[in-house]
A and B are shown apart, each in its own frame.
Chain A
Amino acid sequence: MRMTFRSAVLLLVFPALSGAGCAFGPGEPFGTISPTLSARVDQDSGFTRLATGYEVRITAATFGVDALRLVGTTDEGSGQTLLEIPAGVPLIALSDDPEAVGTVPLTCDPSCGVDRGQLEAVQADLTSFEVVAEVRDSQTPARIAAGTYTVHFVASSSAEGRPLKTAVSLPFDEQHFPHVALDAALVGTPQMFEGVDFAALTGTTLDATQNTAARDAVLEAFAATALDVHTRRSP
């Protein structure tokens, strides 16, 4: 095998050159979450008729959670919290001012990195819930006079919060791109009033002591369906 001196010298320096750039920049975790949180109300224009015969139209809504918790399986077992993302202030879901409704990007401290594992659910605790709805009865004779009802709930601590949960299947490992956009939304619908017999209420405020059962029914129905999560991977 013939080779020139120059070629040999190039071959000598090649390993040193090729070695550069391998671990130069900072590494990245198996998952890097870019989370956002929004709140909205999904309803038809006008009133929505419930199975109970009452018709509901939500006119204002504000929802809030303490944090988004990404729960799944890691090397340490199942049911582990992969990441907890602080959520901050309550979000306006519906308002007369459309600009007040929006999506808020969330930030993590120190980072939104996720270790190797399998995301199985996103959880949160509902800490703030405020809804104003117009209600009327479709039956004849009407059981109630048309009016505006309000539901107000604020948890003084996370422990008092109502748990929200939605299933998500998302692996974080060497085989999948680590960057994940996670868009979470707190969604209210008129159907969360399905469990309320408005004719049996005392007054129009569900926060009244006599209406606790009705308020709990609303919160429970909201918690069952409210958390909506969509994910997108990118390189």
Chain B
Amino acid sequence: MLCPRARARGRWWWSIPSACLWLAGSALAQPAARDREEGSPVHRVSPAPDAAATADRPPSLSAASPPTEDEAAAAEANAPDVAPVDGSDPSAPSPPNVSEEELRALQEAMAADAAAQREAGATSSGSQTTSTPPSGFALQSLNPDLAFIADVAAAYFTREPTLETGEHDPHETGFTLQQLELAVGKSVDPYFRFDANIVFRTEDVEVEEAYATTLALPHRLQLRLGQFLTRFGRINSTHPHQWAFVDQPLAIGRIFGPEGSRGVGVEASWLMPLPWYVELVASATDARGEETARSFFGGDEAAKVRTPLDVQYTGALKQFFAVSDDWSLLWGLSIANGPNPSGYRARTDVYGTDLYLKYRPITDPANPTIVSLQAEVFYRRRQIPGDVLQDLDGYAELFWRFEPRWGVAARYELGSPVWGLHGHVVVDPLDPEWTAVRHRISTNVTFWPTEFSRIRLQGGVDEPRWEREPDWSLMLAFEFAIGAHGAHAF
């Protein structure tokens, strides 16, 4: 198990520390494998590839599918090689005293490794997976995985301005570049992985996410540092290409902002040692941002971080239950707490629960059916001088893939007016027009030519009760993806 490059140079002793790093990296960069052994879904960094990718991907239609995060992690774990390039480093350690027996044992081990590698190569050649030669692999490993994902939509609305709440949603009749997402990711070293999502729009470029994830913490712990979407609920931490609908649920935009709950900060997650999959997540992020933390400090320019109470805290508890081979259930509880600028030490709480029930008959490989039900409910409380503003929002969406390339979905959304402590409807300073209940129903049909493209036709009716007429919409959305993009969490 020695570093191939060092072995080729004949400086095998150099490879001992790097082999240790490699081993550590291999073991620690694959929490998915670790988690599978424990009979549970996977931790954040290397989530189990959700074959349906939030219910909108067909099964493998192409042999050249992008690697899952498992594969990427395993491959990248080979990358670290601290040996000098030319082997003439004067600071290189001198060969240790090794007996002939030890040397023979090492040579035998190297020979066994080489044989194993040849065997593995022969096996993989029978499949569609490409086995990269060691020398080329080292070069390849210098480059991060890159993927471009374009989402373009044509839309028609019966009323403008529309009441869409998502930054990437179509907002007017006509064509919209929802986003061009550049996804970048790679293991930094055996201890960190780096991921970034950079979004290009017609008028600007935005760093949506850029964070490092630890790979080597003990006790099933993991940290993320940087700017990231918080893991509140189910859909908040996902990107548009993972959604089953063209537009974002109203609740996300209303509560967190057009971009969802996001901020610069740190997140810790812990895979709890329980008989079933339980993950505890806690993060602290910047509470400022008109588009990412509107229920907290939002766009208040005077808001400063002066105490630990001036940041947004998010906690989530995620539990997975393998109900049977064909049925699985994910249930989450979330809370977000942080300051708002309405008064002295005014706070905002958002409570949420999410459910994802999925049926996929893996016991019948010929059956392409996937049926999933995803629902989230949000309850928000905001202190303002003399009162507590409260509202309830939620959505439920049902997805059915009836053919490998075809699926349909329906979604119902609800947004209550804001009421105060005495139960009366009060004017919300953030959305003063939202004085009555709002319903929205959307349906769509999706066709996937391959895994890398998607065509979606969606119709919807939005009925804010404070308006006289409902708002009807029709959207035709296209998505195209190129490059390597890992599978998403379940």
Chain A positions within 8 Å of B, measured between CB atoms, are 1-3, 5, 8, 11-12, 15-16, 19, 22-31, 75, 110-111, 113, 116, 173-175, 178
Contacts and interface: CB of A to CB of B under 8 A. Distances in A.
B50 interface: no
Contact of B273 (A8, A27, A113): A8
Given A15-B280, A27-B382, 12 more contacts: A1-B219, A8-B273, A8-B278, A15-B282, A15-B315, A19-B335, A23-B349, A75-B302, A111-B385, A173-B302, A174-B306, A178-B343
Contacts of A113: 343, 385-386
> Which of A22, A113, A173, A175 neighbours the largest number of chain B CB atoms within 10 Å of its CB?
A22
Contacts of A178: 343-344
18 contacts: A1-B220, A2-B273, A8-B274, A12-B272, A15-B282, A15-B335, A16-B333, A16-B335, A19-B349, A22-B381, A26-B384, A27-B386, A28-B344, A29-B385, A111-B386, A174-B344, A178-B343, A178-B344
Contacts of B356: none
Contact of B383 (A19, A25, A30): A25
Contacts of B304: 174
A26 B273 contact: no
**Looking at chain B's contact residues, is the secondary structure mostly helix, strand, loop, or mixed?**
strand
Interface in B300-327: 302, 304, 306, 310, 315, 317
A30 B382 CA distance: 15
Contacts of A75: 302
Nearest to A116: B302
Nearest to A29: B385
Contact of A1 (B273, B302, B384, B387): B273
Contact of B345 (A8, A11, A15, A174): A174
Contacts of A19: 315, 335, 337, 349, 351
A23 B343 CA distance: 12
B381 A23 contact: yes
B348 interface: yes
Interface string B371-409: 000000000011111111000000000000000000000
A98 to B, nearest CB: 39
A23 B338 CA distance: 9
A38 to B, nearest CB: 28
Contacts of B345: 27-28, 174
A28 B343 CA distance: 6
Name the prevailing secondary structure of the A interface residues: loop
B440 interface: no
Nearest to B346: A27
Nearest to A15: B315
B207 interface: no
B82 interface: no
Nearest to B303: A174
B302 A23 contact: no
B22 to A, nearest CB: 26
Contacts of B280: 11-12, 15
A27 to B, nearest CB: 3
Contacts of B273: 1-3, 8
B347 interface: yes
B116 interface: no
Nearest to A30: B344
B204 to A, nearest CB: 26
Interface in B248-300: 272-274, 278, 280, 282
B388 A26 contact: yes
B383 A27 contact: yes
B421 interface: yes
Contacts of B344: 27-31, 174, 178
Contacts of A12: 272, 278, 280, 317
Nearest to B335: A19
A27 B278 CA distance: 35
A26 B310 CA distance: 19
B386 A26 contact: yes
B219 A30 contact: no
Contacts of B388: 23-27
A168 B420 CA distance: 35
A31 B342 CA distance: 11
A116 B303 CA distance: 11
A31 B343 CA distance: 8
A22 B349 contact: yes
Given A8-B274, A15-B335, A26 B315 contact: no
B343 A29 contact: yes
Contacts of B272: 3, 8, 11-12
Q: Which of B302, B310, B344: most chain A CB closer than 10 A?
A: B344
Contacts of A3: 272-273
Tell me which of A5, A12, A75, A113 has the highest count of chain B C-beta atoms within 10 A of its own C-beta. A12
Contacts of A22: 337, 347, 349, 381
A39 to B, nearest CB: 31
A175 B309 CA distance: 12
Interface string B328-364: 0000010101000111111111010000000000000
Contacts of B274: 5, 8
Contacts of A31: 344
A26 B306 contact: no
A110 B346 CA distance: 19
Nearest to A173: B302
B240 to A, nearest CB: 29
A110 B421 CA distance: 17
B230 to A, nearest CB: 14
A27 B315 contact: no
B385 A23 contact: no
Closest 9 CB pairs of A and B: A27-B383, A29-B385, A27-B346, A178-B344, A19-B335, A23-B381, A23-B349, A23-B347, A1-B219
A99 B114 CA distance: 106
A180 B175 CA distance: 56
A24 B351 CA distance: 13
B332 to A, nearest CB: 11
A175 B385 contact: no
A175 B306 contact: yes
Given A22-B337, A174-B344, A28 B278 contact: no
Contacts of A173: 302
Given A22-B347, A26-B421, A27-B342, A15 B381 contact: no
